[in-house]
Amino acid sequence: MAARGGARGLSLVLASRSPQRRAVLEQLGVPFVVRPADVPEDAIGPPAALALEHALRKARAAAGDPAETVLGVDTVVALDGEVFGKPPDEAAARAVLTRLAGRTHEVHSGLAVLHAGQERTAGAVTAVTFRPLDAARVAAYAATGEWRGRAGGYAIQARGAALVRRIEGDYLNVVGLPVAVLVDLLPALLQPAP
């Protein structure tokens, strides 16, 4: 799948199926192609390290031509050292949301860029505080299906925004692609093409 973008100095291969990551790149006007990579994702370990390792695995799996610039991204949610990935079903989504209710959790993203024969990685973390949620509110949100394919079982850019009391850090990190970190890794991303 190819996405149109503005005239920029760099084109990306995005190693992700995430519609949120595609939307962020499109908003930036960055040309990219989507080349999803299915890689094993661990659930045990330090959240920041897991996100970075998963991102690097995705970038390596999607790499083709050495001249390409490949971006791998992974996001995990952590609370009290426990990592929450994408819930497999609605019951699991309700259980995760119940655990996060009224508490502050961390959203960790890892980014890995393969460019010009080099691998570069960086991470971002954002603290997200949920409102207290009763069982009925959790069930109503889970019934929307927004939890599908989302770490922590919610989408802050959609109806999940109503679950959140506040965030500390990068909002786009919670959406799935911390732009500030991406631009630090790839300054050419936002430079006009010659």
- SS3 label, residue 107: strand
Residue 31: CB partners within 8 Å, gap ≥ 6?
A: 3, 4, 5, 6, 8, 11, 12
Read off the tokens for 134.
């009763």
Amino acid at 122: A
Nearest to 115 by CA among 185, 180, 36: 185
Give the domain CATH number at 72.
3.90.950.10
Task: Name the residue with higher pLDDT: 99 or 66.
Answer: 99
pLDDT of residue 8: 45
- Domain of 99 in residue numbering reads as 2-190
Please pick, among 38, 42, 65, 74, the residue that the annotation labels catalytic: 74
Residue 49: CB partners within 8 Å, gap ≥ 6?
A: none
What is the count of structural domains for the chain?
1
Task: Name the residue with higher pLDDT: 5 or 79.
Answer: 79
Confidence of residue 193 (pLDDT cuts 50, 70, 90): low
Average pLDDT of the residues in 165-178: 96
Residue 19: CB partners within 8 Å, gap ≥ 6?
A: none
Distance CA 187, CA 9 (A): 10
| Nearest-10 Cα torsion for 136, 108, 180, 174 | -10
Residue 174 in this model has a pLDDT that exceeds 50 = yes
Distance CA 57, CA 59 (A): 6
Nearest to 72 by CA among 26, 125, 42, 34: 34
Mean pLDDT of the chain: 90
The answer to whether 42 is a known catalytic residue is: no
pLDDT of residue 65: 83
End-to-end Cα spacing for the chain = 25
Over residues 84-118, the pLDDT tens digits come to 988 999 999 999 999 999 999 999 999 999 988 89
